[in-house]
Structure 1
Amino acid sequence: MQPTVFITGATAGFGEACARRFAQAGWSMVLTGRREERLLRLADELSGQAEVLPLVLDVRDRASMQAAISQLPEGFDRLRGLINNAGLALGTEAAQACSLDDWDTMVDTNIKGLLYSTRLLLPRLIAHGRGASIVNLGSIAGNWPYPGSHVYGATKAFVRQFSLNLRCDLQGTGVRVTNLEPGLCESEFSLVRFAGDTHKYEAVYANAQPLQPGDIAETIFWLMNQPAHININSLEVMPVTQAWSNFQIERGR
């Protein structure tokens, strides 16, 4: 029987790239996403390589998540992997000028959505035991502050700490947990953050040689295929062209 992985946010970016990478290796997959047309098209495309179950749902909807997971059909109900990928950043304004609606959406998706999928799927991962893996998509923003990161960075700091705490609770089960923290990566993520402004999107990546979603998918595949006695607690991945900047200093007062 092929191993099964559950991937949230599979309709674009890291999630879509992971679906393609795991399908290439023949894993069975449960793919979730809000955009039905995209999700079904991806599932149809990959169905020639692997068994695929598409679930059209929003990770923020606890009731829908519970219903869908409780009804996973045989063949998809015993998981070896969970990739908590669904997440987003909205806006770049300073905290004093940002939208509270954006804050709500980021908290509901990046924190609560991740919590729902994790808690609801943990019994299935524990049933698999040794070799089962959870990969949570964090961000370098959870470690390093920058202007406009306020709630987004805070949600990713939550992901980091939650991942570490999970490791403690899962001691003895054989289930592994990794917080993967990408840096600059060219994907739809920034287009969403800039509300579809393609000029801002292109400016972020211009001449920067950023990471690509396929790079992150390959990293996740590697993480999940380490020997069962190895746990990579956290992994920060940046393009060579990206580094840390100096502390800001306000002058003139």
Structure 2
Amino acid sequence: MAISLSDVSYRYPDGTLAVDSVDLEIAAGERVAIVGQNGAGKTTAVKMMNGLLRPTSGEVRVDGESTAKRTTAQVSRDVGYVFQNPDDQIFGSDVQGELEFVAKRSGWDEGTRDERVRRAAVLAGLGNVMELNPNDLPFAVKKFVAIGAILVGRCRYLILDEPTAGLDGRGRRLLTRMIDLLQQEGIGIITITHDMRFVADRFERVVAMAHRQVIANGDVHDVFADRAVMHEARLRRPEAALLSQDLGLDPRALSIDEIAALIP
């Protein structure tokens, strides 16, 4: 059970090459962060994972089945995509209706629909706003409405585009709790983000992209400790990693707790 990209490239209609011969596999239940500067190919790569884009060459498979044989709607039922800006995704007049849209379109019975909407509302922390218009909610809450609407479909993989953007401490804690619960259910979590602290704290594996290709793929500690990779991807290492380096300790340390454990 995995999403796999095999020698995948994508060229936009204007001729711009956005992804160049990428091989990548993300297993069910895994947490993977895809990082890199704008233009590295991150967004194009993940949009091919859920069928929003089709590769110019190569093949994308979801749990062994080629996306070329399925419609975008069919692929997106397995691989949910939450956009960076919730306004690009939300259209319901109230949160309840927004979450019920997928359920009603899928033709589920009332019991299944109610159970899935209730689960998504709990995971996304929306219990107190179900009757409100999403457009009247703060940006951070709207982000969770967009996430909740995708979770109703019970996708097996969830792509989060810059999920921490616009979130305060409470929002980050809610996001962390939600990711933990989803992983316990065996759902794969994929994020594209510039928030290196979030990656260091919450993700086990990092895929670094630059020049439209994957330049590193491995344990978060190893990737963030590789100065050449971080330089090529034009990324800044987390503050804790820089502190550990300045103290002459293991450059793989990514948190204050890890640094403390290294001090005699």
TM above 0.5: no
- Of Structure 1 and Structure 2, the greater strand share is in 2
Q: State TM-score, norm by structure 2.
A: 0.29
Q: State TM-score, norm by structure 1.
A: 0.30
Larger Rg: 2
Greater relative contact order: 1 or 2 (C-alpha under 8 angstroms, separation 6 or more)? Answer: 2
